[in-house]
Structure 1
Amino acid sequence: MTVTYDYTGKSVLVTGGTKGIGVGIARAFREAGADVTICARHEQAVPGTERGPGVGRIRFVRADVRVPEDVERLVSGFDRLDVVVNNAGGSPYAPLAGTSPRLHARVIELNLTAPLLVAQSAYPLLAAARGAIVMIGSSSGARPSPGTSAYGAAKAGLHHLARCLAAEWAPDVRVNTVVVGLAATESAGDHYGDQGDGGLGAAIPAGRPATPADVAQACLWLAAPGYVTGAEIRVDGGGEVPHWRHLAAAPSPASGPSRRGSSDAPDA
């Protein structure tokens, strides 16, 4: 079964929509007929600017969503706004000990404060259109995130922010979160080394990391008119395989090639 969406005539803002998951989301809304605006701190080539039957366009606006003045300028360029996808985010690998307090502050600004500023500024237009906000969260905000503690804490805050806004702005604006697990993007190597999709897939029940298209499909659904608000939709392929599962399946010197099925296993 194929699910299709029609966003013809709708105006969509995707922050950080120039690469990775963001550009996948922007293209998906464009292919569904929306006029899409993407933003980033630096000028970028804009993918998909050509028009076609039933296809919208993508335009680029330079803006740093951590800066209130930039956010106000960005949103003031809309006459109508139906959907905001707060996608801009990320963090370098930065263990807490020995790293700059300013680095951690900037990570929190980008991943938590910036989505708050964008949502606040966009609210009047979204309310007029009975629109929707989709926050791009992370599994790092739902489990320990060693090496990216500030990022994980900010994403946990983002998940809570979405629930708060969903309650505060209902029924005029729906607010939901897509909680993304391990994802295959051009920046994945910065975090996971040269393991590639195969290496990451071994840690995921579904056998592969999420793609930008997987995340985009969840965004298309959550942004469409409906009842769901304040929800967290996990796009993580079933989570991450815990280490005890590997231990349980590993050869045991006492019992042979596998511990599975041993006579001393506990009853189900």
Structure 2
Amino acid sequence: MELDGKVAVVTGGTRGVGAGIARSLAAAGAQVVVCARHPPRVPVPGTEFIPLDVRDGDAVHRALSALPRLDVLVNNAGGAPHRPLARADTGHHLRVLELNLLAPLTVSLAAHAHLRRARGSIVMIGSVSGSRPSPGTAAYGAAKAGLEHLARSMAVEWAPEIRVNTLVVGMVRTDRSALHYGDADGIAAVSRTVPLGRLAEPADVGAAALFLASDAAAYISGASLLVHGGGERPAFLEAATAAPADKEP
């Protein structure tokens, strides 16, 4: 899974999952451009930073047009604060949809000509929130569901020159994990709900993104790859009073 001589863009690539993806692509030999609104506090080795708000269509087109070539686009920028639907106005929810659905479309359209010439690849960073109820982040979940559908449609419209796939990412341990899961005890408790017994690391997502971007996945397009450690143990198993069938009562 080498990317020697390839140019890759990772949106939101300055921290957390995005930085993990950028590190993996750079380690595989790619020339990696990371973009975000603010520069990284700790530069990602082997990458170049350009300031960019992916919601600004004109700025996105200028930035990508200035690149000499583009082989891999990773649409990673996104996110949303926890906020119940009725506690936010329509404007808040529209901004969530804009960042998590419309911005990846904007960036992909701006990259289309480059990627078509290079017979390149797009990797969308989706979320398990797009396939299960997401109370508190409902607009985000809806956007991620739409993003996965958008990727499948792109994979058909832009074939055979451009491959498009989605990573459906579960819970990831980053420097901002405490905002979602609480202190160390909370993170440990949440980790126990994952079949593999831990949250993902950014490097886990980076390895999966590298696979989809590489020639090892040359015949994979329109796919959704689950990166969630086996998912979530069904809550009914903890609530059920009946003894498991393979144990003595």
Q: Same fold (TM over 0.5)?
A: yes
Q: Corresponding residue for 1:29?
A: 25
Kept in 1: contact 2:13–2:22 (CA 8 A): yes
Unmatched runs of 5 consecutive residues or more in structure 1: 50-56, 253-257
Rounded to whole Å, the distance in 2 between the matches of 1:128 and 1:44 is 31
Identity of aligned pairs, percent?
Answer: 52
Which of the residues 111, 114, 121 maps onto 2:100? Answer: 111
- TM-score relative to the length of structure 2: 0.94
SS state of the match for residue 30, structure 1?
A: helix
Equivalent position SS for 1:175: strand
Inter-CA distance 8–264: structure 2 relative to 1 (3 Å threshold):
closer
State which of 232, 235, 243 in structure 2 corresponds to 1:243. Answer: 235
Higher RCO structure, 1 or 2 (CA under 8 Å, sep 6+): 2
2:87 counterpart SS class: coil
Pick from 134, 140, 145: which aligns with 2:129? 140
Matched residue, 1:53: none
- For 1:200, the aligned partner's letter is V
Which residue of structure 2 aligns with residue 259 of structure 1? 243
CA distance in 2, matches of 1:83, 1:235: 20
Alignment of 1:171-182 (within 5 A): 171-182=160-171
- Size of the alignment, in residue pairs? 246
Matched residue type, 1:34: A
Q: Which residue of 1 aligns with 2:38?
A: 42
Per-residue CA deviation, residues 193-229 of structure 1 (Å, 9 max, x unaligned), is: 2244422211111111111111111111101120000
- What is the rounded CA distance, in whole Å, between the counterparts of 2:57 and 2:247 in structure 1? 64
Give the TM-score taking structure 1 as reference length: 0.87
Give the CA RMSD over aligned residues. 1.8
Question: How is 1:111-130 mapped onto 2 (pairs within 5 angstroms)?
Answer: 111-130=100-119
Measured after TM superposition, the shift of residue 170 of structure 1 is 0.5
Structure holding more helix per residue: 2
How far off its partner does 1:42 sit? 1.8
Where do 1:75-224 residues align within 5 Å?
A: 75-194=64-183, 195-224=185-214
Retained in 2: the 8 A contact 1:46–1:59? no
SS in structure 2 at match of 1:97:
helix
Measured in 1, the distance between the counterparts of 2:25 and 2:246 equals 52
Cα distance in 2, alignment partners of residues 127 and 165 from structure 1: 12
Question: Residue 54 of structure 1 corresponds to which residue in structure 2?
Answer: none
- 1:43 Cα shift? 2.9
Residue type at the aligned position of 1:222:
L
Supply the AA of the counterpart residue of 1:151.
Y
Q: Identify the match of residue 18 of structure 1 among 1, 14, 38.
A: 14
Deviations 1:10-56 (A, max 9, x none): 1000000011000000011111111100011123346244xxxxxxx
Check the 8 A contact 1:135/1:176 in 2, yes or no.
yes
Asked whether the 8 Å contact 2:130–2:144 carries over to 1, the reply is: yes
Query: Could you tell me how far apart the structure 2 residues matched to 1:79 and 1:178 are?
Result: 27
The structure whose Rg is larger is 1
